[in-house]
Chains A and B, each alone.
Chain A
Amino acid sequence: MIKEEGLKRRYLVQNIWFAIFWLSMILIAAVLGLILYFILARGIKVINWEFLTAIPRRGMTEGGIFPAIVGTFYLVLGSIVVSLPLGVFSAIYLTEYASSDSPAVKAIRTAIHCLAGVPSVVFGLFGLAVFVKILGFGVSVLSGSLTLGIMSLPVVITSVEEALKAVPLSFREASLALGANRWTTIWRVVLPSSLPGILTGLILSVGRAAGETAPIMFTAAVFYARRLPQSIFDPVMALPYHIYGLMTEGTRPDKQVPLAYGTAVVLILLVIAVDFIAIYLRGKSRRTRKW
């Protein structure tokens, strides 16, 4: 026989805890709202056509951020060229060829996890020592792309693996039954079916690569470049490094901080756009999936 009073107390305790859980979630949403509000409200008025298409002038106190936008675009593109083939082929090997408990697979998986945990600044040092110095690429788009590409490898491999695993086994069996060999099956059946998933993972890794600063600060980025990069051996300006530069270099914070706000808005809008595209693609592939 449960006493009425005891039951009331137990539900009171439950309500208090559940209220705390609700509040935590609301607090997290509020923090995001606060960050977006402060930066967008102050930064949006800096943004106009000139800000997006002009080069910085007068020691970064006037003008726009066009070179930084171009630089970030090149770096992201370069990092995809590095990480996509490596990532897709690694994931194909892991899901389609290797048995999941072979020692090779275990070693690769452990390496992927370790690589994902390596701090971004350590990737920067690695890129500096190997690409900039030993291979002699200098501070350049090439060095930065290689560094960013290696850094995004774990995320790309994992998302491609998830996309491949989502393709039903019966697809592969049907293809094999028609006489296709393993590679044809992967190339003509499995990869096309998993394309939306691969694309989603790719877009998310693009968003991250665009915002990274530490890996490119020794390998690719400069505060100020007098011209747009002419080749992959030229250094570039980049959006995240531009924010850091505006906040730490120069002597006119009164003019530089508003520019940093504007740059932060561009970077945030880029990330939001990337997230929305990813969510849209995910939803679409779920709706139009034929299995």
Chain B
Amino acid sequence: MLFLVAFSSLFFLIGIVVILFVEGLPVFAHVSLSQFLFGKRWYPTSSPPQFGALPLILGSLLVTGGGLLFAVPLGLFAGIFLAELCPPRGREVMKPIIELLADIPSVVYGFFGVVVIAPFVRDLLSLSTGLTAFTAALILGIMAVPSIVSVIEDTLTSVPRSYKEASFALGATHWETLRRAILPAASSGIGAAIVLGAGRIIGETMAVLMVAGGAPVIPKSFFQPVRTLTATIAVEMGEASVGSPHYHSLFSLAIVLFLFTLVLNILVENLIPGGRRRVR
């Protein structure tokens, strides 16, 4: 009995994969795989409908890359600060701040983005709308910071003390020790932190749905509205009738999304040996 319950996670994971494929594959009766992956037009409700997911895939990749541009330096530096520079008292203040940042619901981030960041970006750059890939990347970057910080901090504190002592004994400064001994020793953990951050961003739905602007076209610039895979699923599922090609096409988008996150997961799995990994 206990044995069976223990397999529930595996059971649900397999269930998700099966459902995605069962509900997603029928769309390929209406569109070929290459048209789906490389088609440039996503007009699922026009007749005949067009299911080119390339703009959405590129939209997802653009906001993910952009988000990492903000989140990685900030998360890496703050993680180093917490592990190396922060006095214990300060840590008791900073840890709850990071946790709170992680626990704020994504719809609240989206709301904040719409009412505060987007108007600010629009006025700052004199754009016609503030709802752009850039704005989304900014918000998503903030959202990814907590997970990056905590993985970096865990990795750095698990570097053996002797590395540090040896480096100090050779006359290196604290910074040189960090740069030449600790960071190289922690490089795979840092890689894992970045990959986890990417996974967090690419799967994010509500914030990106509200902030990115929602235009399903191939992005030519960072400062124009885009639509991601997640946002498309969220916004169109309400209007797609069950069993229609449109309905199935949204599950196919979810397959693409799932494969992205699976690849990122396999990367993390290889960067951090299994048992040491924590789920947040």
Binding site for B on A (CB under 8 A): 2, 10-11, 13-14, 17-18, 20-25, 27-29, 31-32, 34-35, 38-39, 85-86, 89-90, 92-94, 97-98, 100, 104, 106-126, 128-130, 133, 150, 153-155, 157-158, 204, 207-208, 210-214, 217-218, 240-241, 243-244, 247-248, 257, 260-261, 264, 267-268, 271-272, 274-275, 279
Q: Does B166 touch A at the CB level, under 8 Å?
A: no
Q: Report the stretch among B16-24, B37-45, B51-59 that lies at the interface.
A: B16-24
Not counting A25-B77, A113-B279, a sample of 16 additional A-B residue pairs whose C-beta atoms are within 8 angstroms of each other reads: A10-B176, A21-B78, A35-B112, A93-B3, A106-B274, A112-B9, A117-B262, A117-B264, A119-B261, A121-B203, A158-B278, A211-B103, A212-B106, A213-B105, A260-B111, A267-B105
A-B contacts, CB under 8 A, total: 250
**With A28-B78, A114-B265, A271-B100 known to touch, is A122 a contact of B20 (CB < 8 Å)?**
yes
Q: Is the CB of A24 within 8 A of B77?
A: yes
Complex Cα–Cα for A180 and B23 (A): 50
**With A89-B5, A211-B108 known to touch, is A121 a contact of B205 (CB < 8 Å)?**
yes
* Nearest A residue to B250, CB-CB: A125
Q: Is the CB of A130 within 8 A of B19?
A: yes
Residues in B with CB closer than 8 Å to A100 are 275
List 6 contacting pairs A-B, 8 Å CB cutoff, sorted by A: A10-B176, A31-B142, A118-B13, A128-B237, A241-B107, A243-B108
Complex Cα–Cα for A109 and B274 (A): 8
Q: Is the CB of A119 within 8 A of B85?
A: no
Complex Cα–Cα for A222 and B279 (A): 31
Q: Whole-angstrom distance from the CB of B235 to the nearest CB of chain A?
A: 9
Complex Cα–Cα for A31 and B100 (A): 12
Q: Is the CB of A119 within 8 A of B205?
A: yes
| Residues 232-258 of B contacting A (Cβ, < 8 Å) | 233-234, 237-238, 242, 250-251, 254, 257-258
Q: Report the stretch among B91-99, B121-129, B217-225 that lies at the interface.
A: B91-99
Q: Is the CB of B206 within 8 A of A244?
A: yes
Q: Is the CB of A24 within 8 A of B73?
A: yes
Residues in B with CB closer than 8 Å to A214 are 106, 205-206, 230, 234
Q: Is the CB of A90 within 8 A of B103?
A: no
Interface size on B, residues (CB 8 A): 84
Q: Find the residue from B9, B10, B250, B251 having the highest chain A CB count within 10 A.
A: B9
Q: Is the CB of A150 within 8 A of B12?
A: yes
Q: Does B63 touch A at the CB level, under 8 Å?
A: no
Q: Is the CB of B9 within 8 A of A272?
A: no
Complex Cα–Cα for A238 and B104 (A): 16
Q: Is the CB of B5 within 8 A of A86?
A: yes
Q: Whole-angstrom distance from the CB of A117 to the nearest CB of chain B?
A: 5
Q: Is the CB of B105 within 8 A of A120?
A: no
* Nearest A residue to B202, CB-CB: A119
Contact of A244 among B85, B96, B100, B210 (CB under 8 A): B210
